[in-house]
């Protein structure tokens, strides 16, 4: 349906992602208990609280500063790896959105590519390393493909969310190569990576926020 989205739709996407994380933070901490230190749900809750706070309190009503404020809010959460990683994602989105106030599918994909690039400045993790990248990289690729295929934005986000979820689910079979989980080596096999799961929830939220 929608060919372009603007400030209000982006806020709807973000708010839906906030809700998605809030509804699943216990499960995220549980996942982190299996492979890390059990706090990823708490960290993500704080991250999305920071997102919501920017949205609620005097938001700048322009995409770049909105995303930049969110990035600094998320970075400031004292959430271990979560702050820098997801903060970087939003910092990259803010870089990538440039001066656009309406986004078509290609602009949306470009924005997320910039987000991914910023995360990759912090982490060398690739698909297969059992991190959030296992969800983020395929999701961004799906957006790019959708843009090239001239999909609608709803459709693009749906494919991104599916790709993220598939990527997250696939981490169950992997052995962790990054983060705290790495120290568990072989014992991480059989557990979904919490950062990948939360990335999937974010994209599912983005998708649902637009779908309304």
Ligand X SMILES: Nc1ncnc2c1ncn2[C@@H]1O[C@H](COP(=O)(O)OP(=O)(O)O)[C@@H](O)[C@H]1O
Residues at the site binding Mg ion, with contacts judged by CB under 5 A: 32, 36-37, 39-40, 80
Binding segment for ligand X among 53-61, 149-157, 160-168, 173-181 (CB under 6 A)? Answer: 173-181
193, 129 Cβ separation under 8 angstroms: no
Binding other proteins (rule: CB under 8 A), the pick from 6, 60, 76, 149 is: 76
Distance CA 86, CA 28 (A): 15
> What x-and-dash track marks residues 116-145 binding other proteins by CB under 8 A?
------xx----------------------
Distance CA 84, CA 48 (A): 14
Binding ligand X (rule: CB under 6 A), the pick from 77, 87, 116, 178 is: 178
Binding other proteins (rule: CB under 8 A), the pick from 82, 94, 198, 199 is: 82
Verify binding: residue 92, other proteins, rule CB under 8 A: no
Cα–Cα distance list, 189 to 32, 150, 184, 200 (Å): 13, 38, 9, 19
Binding segment for other proteins among 13-21, 69-77, 105-113, 144-152 (CB under 8 A)? Answer: 69-77
Q: Which region, left, alpha or beta, applies to residue 190 given φ > 0 means left and ψ of -120 to 50 means alpha?
A: left
> What x-and-dash track marks residues 2-21 binding ligand X by CB under 6 A?
--------------------
Structural tokens at position 24:
């699943």
Binding ligand X (rule: CB under 6 A), the pick from 14, 75, 97, 133 is: 133
By the criterion CB under 8 A, which residues form the site for other proteins?
29-30, 33, 36-39, 41-43, 46, 72, 74-85, 87-88, 122-123, 178-184, 187
């Amino acid at each position: 349906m929608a060919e372009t989205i603007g400030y209000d739709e982006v806020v709807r996407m973000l708010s839906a992602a906030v809700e998605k994380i809030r509804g699943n933070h216990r499960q995220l901490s549980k996942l982190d208990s299996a492979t890390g230190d059990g706090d990823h749900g708490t960290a993500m809750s704080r991250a999305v609280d920071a997102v919501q706070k920017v949205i609620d309190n005097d938001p700048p009503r322009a995409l770049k500063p909105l995303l930049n404020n969110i990035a600094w809010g998320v970075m400031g959460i004292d959430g271990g790896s979560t702050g820098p990683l997801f903060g970087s994602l939003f910092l990259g989105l803010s870089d990538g959105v440039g001066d656009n106030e309406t986004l078509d599918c290609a602009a949306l994909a470009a924005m997320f590519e910039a987000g991914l690039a910023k995360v990759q400045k912090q982490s060398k993790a690739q698909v297969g390393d059992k991190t959030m990248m296992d969800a983020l990289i395929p999701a961004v690729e799906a957006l790019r493909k959708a843009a090239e295929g001239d999909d609608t934005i709803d459709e693009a986000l749906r494919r991104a969310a599916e790709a993220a979820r598939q990527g997250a689910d696939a981490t169950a079979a992997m052995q962790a190569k990054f983060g705290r989980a790495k120290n568990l080596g072989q014992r991480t096999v059989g557990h979904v990576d919490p950062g990948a799961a939360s990335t999937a929830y974010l994209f599912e939220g983005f998708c649902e926020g637009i779908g309304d």
